[in-house]
Amino acid sequence: MTTARVSTSSGAGADGHTRRRLGIGLIGFGWLGQAHSRSMQRIRTLFPEREFDPELVICSDVVPARAEEAVGSFGYRRATEDWRAVVDDPEVDAVVIAAPNSLHVEVIEAAAEAGKDIFCEKPVGGTPADTARAERAARRAGAITGVGYNYRWAPLVRYAAELVREGKLGQVTNYRARFFSMYGSDPLGVLSWRYRREEGHGVTTDLLSHAVDLAHMLVGPIVRVVGSSKTFIPERPLHDPAAGTHYGRGRPGDPVGEVTNEDYAAMLCEFENGGRGTFETARTLIGPESQMAFDLYGSRGALGWNLERMNELRLCLATDERHSGYTTVFGGDRFPHHGRFAPGSANGIGFEDLIVIEDYEFCRSVLEGRSHRPGFEDALAAVSVQAALLESERSGCWEPVVSLRED
């Protein structure tokens, strides 16, 4: 979209700034829905230079107690169990989708048709085909889109991208990515929508999408892959819909159901720049807790980052042969946005702070009426790699990455 859709002015605030209101409608008030709601509220105190005020207009969740909490504790004006009421609400400028993946495409098509701008949690759909449909609908409607690839916004990840862009590491030849999460390591972890193929793929959707998106940002497009996947825990306790889905636990003896998508996926890949990469993602390993991590190697240096230590960047610059090996760069207010949350150096920021940055940047793009990165185009690029990996699993061969973009 080239013109901003946000129309209503909220007038001058106590600090003298004139800001426009930006009506937010949110669908899915679980972990990430609540994180986005808090983040939209925190924008007011963390970004004094902003030209907008996000307003929490309406929230939808199928669990009535959650919808009520959205109004009672988070300050939404209204709540509903019907997501269509969010999409149709005239006071909503941007729809934020944090519902289960299988619902994404239907909501996006309706929101695009209603003329809303759209932020969708990754991966934008349960399958690559869903993502392609969603991207097409939003593009055709001219919607501004954003995707929850929140690790892009980590200040030290942005610094890593800057170092690569400026050529400080030379030519990037190798890349190693992993996303090892513990959320499925306990066999008593409940059989939520995450584990059912009929509601989407497993870790290739949930975790690989983050890892591939970061690789695309840091190194560039992936052009060819060979991969493999596996389900290690074949059944889990049935799920109470009102309970958490990532970390909810059943009890021994509870009735169980079958896990029908993958717990683990790995791939070897080739980048367009000639570099080579390896990717591993798993949700059932014991040991790693949230290792969303990468190592990047260039002809003049290397760096590495790991969410478990998100305020540290390991850096090796081969500029002085006496200083070989890695040094640790601590996060601090000299890196993008860090100082909004904590002044000085090595006063760490956290997971949800990245969501605040992500929401601020998305809202700014909406206000200014310009296209946003990462948007649905980036989600499409990530699932095109996912589709090649799934194809390679079937064929047992290397597979080219073919864009799934629909005309």
Ligand X SMILES: NC(=O)c1ccc[n+]([C@@H]2O[C@H](COP(=O)([O-])OP(=O)(O)OC[C@H]3O[C@@H](n4cnc5c(N)ncnc54)[C@H](O)[C@@H]3O)[C@@H](O)[C@H]2O)c1
Q: Which residues bind ligand X (CB under 6 A)?
A: 27-33, 60-63, 66, 83, 98-101, 103, 121-122, 148, 150, 206, 244-246
Bridge pairing between strands 222-230 and 264-271:
antiparallel
Helical (H) or strand (E) element with 381 = helix 376-395
Q: CB-wise, 107 or 388, nearer to ligand X?
A: 107
Smallest gap from residue 60 Cβ to ligand X (A) = 5
Q: CB-wise, 294 or 297, nearer to ligand X?
A: 294
Smallest gap from residue 66 Cβ to ligand X (A) = 5
Smallest gap from residue 76 Cβ to ligand X (A) = 13
Q: CB-wise, 1 or 92, nearer to ligand X?
A: 92
Smallest gap from residue 324 Cβ to ligand X (A) = 35
CA angle 275, 278, 279 (to 5 degrees): 130
Smallest gap from residue 244 Cβ to ligand X (A) = 6
Smallest gap from residue 59 Cβ to ligand X (A) = 9
Q: CB-wise, 109 or 121, nearer to ligand X?
A: 121
Smallest gap from residue 287 Cβ to ligand X (A) = 20
Q: CB-wise, 208 or 329, nearer to ligand X?
A: 208
Q: CB-wise, 37 or 173, nearer to ligand X?
A: 37
Helix 155-165 with 208-218: angle, nearest 10 deg:
40
Q: CB-wise, 144 or 208, nearer to ligand X?
A: 208
Q: Which residues pair with 279 in a beta bridge?
A: 177, 267
Token readout for 189 is 């972890």
Q: How far apart are CA 389 and CA 207, in angstroms?
A: 14
CA angle 184, 385, 274 (to 5 degrees): 120
Smallest gap from residue 346 Cβ to ligand X (A) = 24
Q: How far apart are CA 61 and CA 64, in angstroms?
A: 7
Q: CB-wise, 352 or 377, nearer to ligand X?
A: 352
Token readout for 278 is 């390896």
Q: How far apart are CA 398 and CA 405, in angstroms?
A: 21
- The residue number with the shortest CB distance to ligand X is 30
Buried b (16+ CB within 10 A) or exposed e, 385-400: bbbbbbbbbeeeeebe
| 117 neighbors 94 (Cβ within 8 angstroms) | yes
Is the previous residue joined to 221 through a cis bond, with omega within 30 degrees of 0? no
Token readout for 391 is 């194809």
Q: How far apart are CA 277 and CA 222, in angstroms?
A: 9
- In angstroms, what CA-CA distances link 369 with 144, 147, 280? 7, 16, 37
Token readout for 301 is 């240096």
Q: CB-wise, 39 or 392, nearer to ligand X?
A: 39
Smallest gap from residue 272 Cβ to ligand X (A) = 26
